[in-house]
Each structure stands twice: as C-alpha cells, then as structure tokens.
Amino acid sequence: MKPQIAVVGSINMDLVFKTPRMPLPGETLMGHSFHQVHGGKGANQAVAAARMGADVHFVACVGDDVNGKSCLQALAQDGIRLDHIRAIANTATGVAGILLDDAGQNCIVLTTGANALLNESDIAGASNTIAQAKLLLCQLETPLDTVAQAINSAKQADVKVVLNPAPAQALSDQILAQVDYLVLNETEAAELSGVAVTNVESAAVAAAKLQQRGASVVLLTLGALGMWVAASDSSYFLPAFKVEVVDTTAAGDTFVGSFAVAIAEGQDLRAACMLAQSAAALAVTKFGAQTSIPLRDAVERQLHNT
C-alpha cells in the first residue's frame, strides 16, 4: 500500500535563465539559455513524494492561465491527485524568475499569484483528506494563516506534520509546537533561532534553540556539507553525498518530499534522512526543478552503492 500524504502548498511556473555568473546591479548580462520548468515548493515536494512512491493529495491554487493548465497537466502525469486544487478566474499562476550560474548556484524572484489566495475554505474542504493521510507536508509560499489551519487540522486528527519553513519568515512558538519534523536550511534556521548557521557547530546550537521553541525533530540541511539531525533522544551529523553539481534548484524540495515518504512508510529517522539525502544529491546533478527530481529506483541504487 502506498502511504497517503497530503501536501498543502504552492504551484509556480519557473522561468529559468542560465548565466555565466550573477549580474551586478545595473548590469545587462548575456545569458546562455532560457527554459520554462514546472515548479513551486509545494508542487516540487508533491512530485518528489509521488516519485518516491506515495499517494499524494495536493491542496493548492492556480490561475486560469496557460501556466496553470500546464502545471496541472504535469502534476497529473506524476499521479498526483488534483481534487483539492482550485483554479481561480482572472488570476495568474505563481511565477518564479530564476538565475542559474555556471557554478550551479541560483537566485530566485517570486511572484505569488494564485498561491496568495489559498485560504481557510480550501483547507476546510480538504479536512477529511488531511485526516486520512499518514502525514501532512507544508511550506510557506502560501499564506501563513492557511498553513497554520492545515497544521491544526492535521494535529486534531493525530496526523504527523512536516514543515519546511521556506521562504524564511517569523513563526510563533504555537505553530512550532505542532510540528513533528521541522526541515530547514541555514538561512531559515537563522531566521527562526537567531543563530547564524555557518558550520556544524552553529547548526547544532540553532537546532537546539528550535527544539526549545517547540519543534520535536529538527533537520537542518547544510548544502554540500550535509545535515544536522536533532531529535529528542539523540543529535548527529550526516555528511552529504559527493556529486557533481549542475543545478541546486529543488534540491531542498526533493529532500523534504522524499523524507516525508520515508517517515510515512515507517522508516526510522536516520534511514529516512539518508534516503532523502540520496534523492537530493541526484536532483542537483540535473537541470531544473521538477525535471531534476529522481525516481525511487535511482535513489535506492545510489544509497545502496555508497
């Protein structure tokens, strides 16, 4: 049986410009190429979860434009259930402008579009689906009040919650106390803990502060270095897989979606983190957001060959 996962989040069309480097203020820089790729943190994580073998129910909003139709078609191809995705008339689907340089690093400018209109009625309409899920997965590219209601709905039904607090913003202790697994990077950890995360030692301090604020388990990803895992009974560092980086877009989303599936399957914390790290490592070896997210077989092969 596939584990059922409910995802509440964003859907974007990514407009990707490949450049030799990041432009300076006021500079016009000749790029290598341009691509349109389906993205959005919610959609990316939903796709990652689906490709890892979950039965994914997605709660989201799109506009009634060409981008929205294209994004929905792509989600359907991955077997994601679209019953709770609302298409809004006279509204644009979210768009992300992404600059990707030759080193594989990116900068992103986001316009939320229909994502900003995901509301509490959407969550209420999906409450039974959330209650029946093994796990709820959320991010912060949709309104915080909506995310908070989704988390509250899950906790009332005793459903585990994974929160990826990205983009970084302030969160109350009340929300953090309802989160079973808080998955975040250095920037997000600094925003929520007040600790600048620059290495493993500072990651451990930041994670401990986030646990003091209420989060049960904190997974702090450190890019190519690896990750710090802080649970109630143990804390430890896991090094990253060594791969050739092509594009870091959606690496974090791939990690989060894959981790959620492993936890929903009943894997222990360390095994779930290793599986997610393997998936994220494969994602950075390919271009784009959803185009880079690997299938379960490839993730398992890399994991077992290390």
What is the rounded distance in angstroms from the CA atom of residue 258 to the CA atom of residue 54? 9
Please check if 79 is assigned to a binding site: no
Instruction: Answer yes or no: is pLDDT of 288 > 90.
Output: no
Position 21 pLDDT exceeds 90: yes
Task: Provide CB contacts within 8 A for 253, sequence distance 6+.
Answer: 41, 44, 45, 48, 164, 289, 293
The pLDDT of residue 287 is above 80 = no
Is 12 known to sit in a ligand binding site?
yes
What is the CATH superfamily name and number for domain 4-304? Ribokinase (3.40.1190.20)
pLDDT in tens, 30-69: 999 999 989 999 999 999 999 999 999 999 999 999 999 9
Confidence of residue 93 (pLDDT cuts 50, 70, 90): very high
Give the model confidence (pLDDT) of 228-273 as tens digits: 999 999 999 999 988 888 877 779 999 999 999 999 999 999 999 9
Select from 200, 206, 212, 217 the least CA-distant residue to 270: 217
Cα–Cα distance for residue pair 170/190, rounded to 1 Å: 10
| CA nearest to 48, candidates 162, 167, 145, 168 | 162
Query: Could you report the per-residue pLDDT of 116-150, keeping only the tens digit for each?
Result: 999 999 999 999 999 999 999 999 999 999 999 99
Question: What one-character-per-residue DSSP string does 40-56 give?
Answer: -HHHHHHHHHHHTT-EE
pLDDT category at 304 given cuts 50, 70, 90 is confident
| pLDDT per residue as tens digits for the range 190-220 | 999 999 999 999 999 999 999 999 999 999 9
Please identify every residue annotated as catalytic: 253
Q: What is the pLDDT of residue 110?
A: 86
User: Quick check: 17 and 31 in contact, CB under 8 A?
Assistant: yes
Q: Say if residue 44 carries a ligand binding annotation.
A: yes
Give the rounded percent of residues in the chain with a pLDDT score beyond 70: 100
Annotated binding residue 247: yes
Residue 286 is predicted with a pLDDT of 87
Non-local (6+) Cβ contacts of 242 within 8 A are none
Q: Report whether 110 belongs to an annotated binding site.
A: no
Q: What ranges in the chain are assigned the alpha helix state H?
A: 41-51, 66-77, 120-125, 127-132, 144-156, 173-176, 186-193, 200-212, 251-264, 269-283, 296-304
Q: Is 224 exposed, middle or buried (0-12, 13-18, 19+ CB in 10 A)?
A: middle
pLDDT score of 1: 84
Query: In the structure, what pLDDT confidence band is assigned to residue 151 with cuts at 50, 70 and 90?
Result: very high
Whether 6 has a pLDDT exceeding 80, the answer reads yes
pLDDT value for 100:
86
Assessment of whether the complete model's pTM goes beyond 0.85: yes
- What are the φ/ψ torsions at residue 246 (nearest 5 degrees)? -105, -45
Of the pLDDT bands very low, low, confident and very high (cuts 50, 70, 90), residue 163 is: very high
**DSSP state letter for 212:** H
What's the CA gap between 11 and 1, in Å, rounded? 27
Residue 266 is labelled as binding a ligand: no
Signed CA dihedral, 192, 196, 199, 202: sign only: negative
Q: Are 123 and 59 in contact (CB under 8 A)?
A: yes
Question: Does residue 278 have a known ligand-binding role?
Answer: no
Residues pairing with 12 in the sheet: 39, 94
Q: Where are the domains of the chain?
A: 4-304
The share of the chain scoring above pLDDT 90, in percent, equals 85
